[in-house]
Chain A
């Protein structure tokens, strides 16, 4: 079945550092790919998405490119802030199925001032 594998956490960085969180996927069809963010005590919010190969999703300084050849969707940000501290989830949605999201295990990110 479909699956998503994320970089193991937790990740701790200093403010203004460069961030990469790796995400790879396995899917039988042509999934849409997502990054969701969960701030402490809150539900998940969509951060960005890409629906086809070579698409780049971007939001709030974060970017991720849908790479079909490497089945990856790595999350990057050039200069992180303390307010970016959260748990980040990579996910895929396969429209051949029931429009459910298949999630990675999540990566906890802590940014120190």
Chain B
């Protein structure tokens, strides 16, 4: 089944404790993105990657890092999380105009 998976689905952590949210797709898509969803703001792109070892900032990259060492994986790294990064995070992949989203990771930073 074609899908985008994310782990963990839920995470509660404390300020400053490094964390990684994994994302994997099995559709051989070149393009992958991370978004965050906040009430009243819709989804905003954090980072994107156009292929292996090619990443760039989206609209809200501050406080986040990504890497793309393999085509299927695109982890999101929060080196020192802060409470304003409490949000719902979505990974997505696409080849053409249509993006396919993972199920989401709800992150709470205390």
Contact = CB atoms under 8 A, between A and B. Distances in A.
Interface string B43-80: 11100101000001011000000000000000000000
Interface stretch (A14-22, A74-82, A96-104): A96-104
B74 to A, nearest CB: 14
Secondary structure at the B interface, as helix, strand, loop or mixed, is strand
A95 B97 contact: yes
Range for the number of chain B residues in contact with chain A: 20 to 34
A37 to B, nearest CB: 11
A43 B44 contact: no
B12 interface: no
A106 B42 contact: yes
A105 B97 contact: no
B48 A89 contact: no
Contacts of A104: 42
Given A43-B90, A43-B103, A51 B97 contact: yes
Interface of B: 4, 31, 33, 35, 40-45, 48, 50, 56, 58-59, 90, 92, 94, 97-104
Given A44-B43, A89-B43, A93-B97, 15 more contacts: A34-B98, A42-B104, A43-B4, A43-B90, A44-B90, A44-B101, A46-B100, A49-B98, A95-B97, A98-B58, A99-B97, A100-B58, A101-B33, A101-B45, A103-B35
